Structure 1
Amino acid sequence: MGRRAFKITATAHAPAGPNQADYNQVVARFHAGDLAGVESACRHVLAQNPRQPAFLHVLGLVAQARGQSAIAAELIGEAVALRPDDSAMHGNLGIALAKLGRLDAAEGAYRRAIALRPDNADAHSNLGNVLRHHGRWDEAEAEYRQALSLRPTFAEAHSNLGNALRQREDLDGAEAAYRQALALRPAYPEGHYNLGNVLLERGRTEEAIACYRAALAFNPRLVEAHNNLGSALKALADMDGAIACYQAALAIDPRYAEARYNLGLAWLGLGDYPRGWAAYEWRWASPDFRPHRRPFAQKTWRGEDMAGGTLLLHAEQGYGDTLQFCRYIPLVAARCRRVVVEVPPPLLRLLRTSPALVAVGDVRFIARGMPLPDFDLHCPLMSLPLALDTRLETAPAATPYLTAAVAAPIAARDRPCVGIAWSGNPTYKVDRRRSLTRAQVESLVAACPEVEFHSLQKDPDAAGGLPDGVVDRMGDVADFADTAALVQAMDLVISVDTSVVHLAGALGRPVWLLNRFDSDWRWLRDRDDSPWYPTLRQFRQEMPGDWYGVLARVAASLDKWNPRA
């Protein structure tokens, strides 16, 4: 988050002749915040002669300051047409265009501003913002560093550089850049907000909360800070505080999708499913979910009878989400003549060969990427609880609803076999908090010599390497049907919050969830069971990051556990 500065001076593009004094006065009033007075003065001058670029430009900046970016772009565009050699005008035109989402046009305006005046630090920094938006990290960083070489005291450019470094996962560099921005401008709300973000990502939640509160002290209407303060409080299990923050953000901007979505997650985590599922639909307006949105012309199914039509169900997020919510397929099939279910290819064989999913109606599975047949309505899998009015007490919990074709052969053994998965997808934003290290897994193995541990971790090298004492049986696994066969052969599955938990639960196998302190919504609060999986038991962190405490309780439970009971 980096502020784009509006640049206006009394001399850079002042009009010649008798309007010089009027212009100087307008500039002074603009910097004093007298927008109404500036607008009145500019319109008075332009009524006498509309072809005065300096006044058109200032009038455009007034519109931009009021959030009227389309009007700003039009007015500043007229000014640029009359004075195409003015770097500041091109730079401010870029700001208005960027606010409108016209980023390619904004990039062109910034580049023109720089071509006219290579020492235009603001244009370099703002060009970096556009490049960063497009994922052109190296180019963005170069522009920010160029801006800072021209103006080392440019606090916004330091903050913007921090944003680029954070997105490249250089968290040390990002934190240093944000702290430099705040050293230059202590009362910089965006700087405090950005520093809070990197601290939250690094697990320094209390420090992040202090930063968000500082940002809001300087700008109480900074909706992003309200939202992220809510997420930080939620990470410390302060659900009441989190909900209050999300609601504060929505009081400022009722259509702020991230806060509405996060509020939905909070309600779901508290078991308030009616409000939670409705608010969860706001995920589609969040930038994080736009890549998952399908641009279908057909409308979304909301639970109505479709005795004469075809419904497309489609997976939208991770493998675990699909495994959890495919349980709804028979309920949907009872209301529809035909159901087509599109799933990621690694799940296709498992779902297609699970009789419980096709026991009702005409159900057909296809792999994502294959041509879709004709259909009348569609529904993402994770919108089915809303469509079918799922309450906490009515969650469809009958298991197994998935079937392993055959259990994987295991050589005769004299110890119980426990499958273990210790790491999730590293691209998931909270993966650092939900995954174990190799050393932590090895501490559990060493504490339980009476147990034979088998890896259920796909690509263990990417998860820190195969822990000592764990048997690797995943080398021949091609898809989830193969993993299901391994799970079926285990006496027990132990896993962090990843797809293996859902797979074991859906197969009706005993599964122990190693759950982080800031639990995902689906595991609810203050319980060690699950309304979704009757065979699941939770072992929760009692404080953030305390995996060794969790593993000690697991080891003690394994010592008492009887796989034949």
Structure 2
Amino acid sequence: MSYQTKSFADPAVALTLRGAAALAEGEAALAASHFTTAALLAPHRASIWHNLAEARRALGQSAGAAQAYRHALRLRPAYPKAWTGLAALLLKSRRSKVAARAAMRALALDPGFAEAWSVAGSILLDRRAMERLPIVLRRAVRLAPDNPLPWLALAGGLGKTVEPALPLACVQRAVALAPDRPAGYVNHAGLLIRLGRLDAAQALHGRLRRLAPLEGHAEAGDSLAATLRGDFATALSLARHSLVLQPASPAALINLSLAEHGSGMTEPARRGNERALALQPESDIARFNLSMVLLAEGDFAKGWRLYESRWRMEHVAYPAHAPHWTGGNPAGRSLLLVAEQGQGDTLQFVRYAPMLAALGAQVHLMVQPALVRLLSGLPGIASVRSLTEPPPACDACIPLLSLPLVFGTGLATIPASVPYLSSSGQERAAWKRRLDGSPGGEGGLKVGLVWAGSAHDDQFVAHMVDRRRSLPLSALAPLAGIPGVRFYSLQKGPPASEACPPGLDLVDWMDEVEDFADTAALVAELDLVISVDTSVCHLAGALGRPVWMLSRHDACWRWLRDRSDSPWYPTMRLFRQDRPGDWPPVILRVRTALERWAMP
């Protein structure tokens, strides 16, 4: 009897074939219905329960899928496909250790099963075992060179570890193997966006629109690109269209929430991320984006906890110099505090180091090289080392930006006593003599200027943020000619060489400044610092000096919403953009405020 003839004679087989066809067409609900009926007719067949589990997993029904996988394995314990599906499901539910055991069972039963190797690679990616990850994923590709899924997995695994050419080649191979499937194009475009090749990504989105016009992938990708460019109005329009096409898509909700957050629509952004998490509880991107919204709203109780998802979202290794410290009595313990992100972040959150020392901990710091000399003056700190040096032996370690969570910091309990940093009296005296001896320096208002942050050319997302927070020196031309005001450059890097606009007399001694200790001594002798959102405004705030920060419209979470002051820095005043990219009104408000201050 042929297989086709048997399928008509056996209703369970016929239903299984219909379910498989429906699942292949993306109709998971219909497939689950067919497989459920087939299981009722033939409950002893493990393959039917496995198929039902696959359909339920596609529908996001984790509990029902796990139940079906386990029933299949009770009927047939040596079933590598079912072990692999269960492993993938457990991984999605954040149970990576149990998932790893299931994947190993699958590979023990069938060492040549490519899908099991691919899931094992995903587990390594989740556990940030980045060195082993490409080895495992390459094994999957060798076993199934004509299957696009291992190629896509390998592209994801290589994306954080190697030059861009290799992951790009992998997604291009996946597209070539399945040119009629949207997944390859979506992954390819996403990788191009992360690399900053927005125009190339949008060209791929055009192909996606033709291939899957009703799925909204292209609109979602174009919305993300517009958000990165700071074109939030366009991003909102595209994201809303994408959500109409994919009303239950977590990715579409996340993209819309990003555009809403950038536009200052915090309440819709919060609801969108919460809905995305309800649909996809394992989404670290939604969890991280929600933390940004909550922190900007001042909801620190929930925000700090969700902010820890930054490690999983980026697949960056958590500092492993010593066991992780998650709180408790620090007295008598040696703790290593490790810098992360930018130098401004270190300056902001290093305030917690003396607090730990006061509680009886022996506190060590590992920070960016340019901060070592300045932070060596913190009271009660046992040692300060560069991130490039070997770490000291310690009982436990914690990243600096996890300290607010450990301390339970709320909006009303921010440790905002300033100054918590200080500079060398001898260096300050040298700068004072120099400032007093400069033309107009004695008796006038001495104001330091910073107009640009670090370009972050090697990190595209950070680079795009810098383009929105920075401005050219020429934009400060309206500050020229204010009687009784003398300007001094605090700018480092390529923007320091920009031509000064006519009439804006700017003294520049920054070639003689080697590190933040030097900058701190100069800032301590100024009357005011005017800076974009970069490390110098944190430095001035930590020194207790008056600082006016020029804030982009889509301000960083730490500056909260709709405030002209900062609970982190009592001496700070914020001048915010009313519209994205609109700096001239901000500079005019700064001029007016300066004129009032400088009036005799």
- Which TM-score band applies after superposition, normalised by the shorter structure? 0.7 to 0.9
Alignment partners' CA distance in 2, 1:324 and 1:433: 19
1:247 matched to 2:278? The reply is no
Structure 2 residue aligned with 1:7:
none
Q: CA deviation at 1:364?
A: 3.3
Q: CA deviation at 1:131?
A: 4.4
Alpha carbons 2:148, 2:178 under 8 Å: kept = yes
Alpha carbons 2:322, 2:395 under 8 Å: kept = no
Structure 1 residue aligned with 2:439:
413
Alignment partners' CA distance in 2, 1:27 and 1:60: 22
TM-score, reference length from structure 1 = 0.79
The code of the aligned residue for 1:230 comes to: S
Q: CA deviation at 1:97?
A: 4.8
1:294 matched to 2:284? The reply is no
Structure 1 residue aligned with 2:481:
449
Alpha carbons 1:155, 1:180 under 8 Å: kept = no
Alpha carbons 2:273, 2:287 under 8 Å: kept = yes
Alpha carbons 1:395, 1:531 under 8 Å: kept = yes
Structure 2 residue aligned with 1:460:
494
Alpha carbons 1:466, 1:472 under 8 Å: kept = no
Structure 1 residue aligned with 2:284:
257
Structure 1 residue aligned with 2:568:
532
Structure 1 residue aligned with 2:129:
none
Alpha carbons 1:97, 1:103 under 8 Å: kept = no
Give the alignment partner of residue 310 of structure 1, picking from 334, 342, 353: 334
Q: CA deviation at 1:498?
A: 0.9
1:544 matched to 2:580? The reply is yes
Q: CA deviation at 1:529?
A: 1.3
**Given the superposition, is the C-alpha separation of residues 373 and 150 from structure 1 closer, same or farther in structure 2, using an over 3 Å criterion?**
closer
Q: CA deviation at 1:210?
A: 3.5
**Given the superposition, is the C-alpha separation of residues 132 and 93 from structure 1 closer, same or farther in structure 2, using an over 3 Å criterion?**
same
Give the alignment partner of residue 423 of structure 1, picking from 452, 464, 472: 452
Deviation string 1:421-455 (CA, Å, 9 cap, x unpaired) is: 22223336355345579874213235423344332
Alpha carbons 1:440, 1:547 under 8 Å: kept = no
Deviation string 1:434-486 (CA, Å, 9 cap, x unpaired) is: 5579874213235423344332222125x784544544322122210011122
Larger deviation, residues 432-441 vs 135-144: 432-441
The code of the aligned residue for 1:139 comes to: L
**Given the superposition, is the C-alpha separation of residues 112 and 337 from structure 1 closer, same or farther in structure 2, using an over 3 Å criterion?**
closer
Q: Secondary structure at the match of 1:213?
A: helix
Q: How do residues 61-210 of structure 1 correspond to structure 2 at under 5 angstroms?
A: 96-101=119-124, 103-114=134-145, 128-132=155-159, 134-145=161-172, 153-210=180-237
Alpha carbons 1:340, 1:365 under 8 Å: kept = yes
Deviation string 1:278-325 (CA, Å, 9 cap, x unpaired) is: 33333333326x24x21254341525251x332333323321111112
Alignment partners' CA distance in 2, 1:195 and 1:43: 48
Alignment partners' CA distance in 2, 1:313 and 1:61: 40
Q: How do residues 269-348 of structure 1 correspond to structure 2 at under 5 angstroms?
A: 269-287=296-314, 290-291=316-317, 293-304=318-329, 306=331, 308-348=332-372
Structure 1 residue aligned with 2:19:
29
**Given the superposition, is the C-alpha separation of residues 283 and 438 from structure 1 closer, same or farther in structure 2, using an over 3 Å criterion?**
closer
Alignment partners' CA distance in 2, 1:371 and 1:272: 37
Q: How many residues align?
A: 521
1:396 matched to 2:428? The reply is no
Q: CA deviation at 1:149?
A: 6.0
Alpha carbons 1:434, 1:515 under 8 Å: kept = no
Alignment partners' CA distance in 1, 2:350 and 2:393: 21
Q: Secondary structure at the match of 1:561?
A: helix
The code of the aligned residue for 1:374 comes to: A
Alignment partners' CA distance in 1, 2:301 and 2:167: 44
**Given the superposition, is the C-alpha separation of residues 31 and 59 from structure 1 closer, same or farther in structure 2, using an over 3 Å criterion?**
farther
Q: CA deviation at 1:153?
A: 4.9
The code of the aligned residue for 1:329 comes to: A
Alignment partners' CA distance in 1, 2:535 and 2:591: 22
Q: CA deviation at 1:533?
A: 1.5
Unaligned runs of 5+ in 1: 1-16, 48-55, 82-88
Alignment partners' CA distance in 2, 1:46 and 1:273: 49
TM-score, reference length from structure 2 = 0.75
Alpha carbons 2:452, 2:470 under 8 Å: kept = no
Q: Secondary structure at the match of 2:384?
A: strand
Alignment partners' CA distance in 2, 1:76 and 1:313: 40
Larger deviation, residues 340-349 vs 66-75: 66-75
Alignment partners' CA distance in 1, 2:360 and 2:105: 51
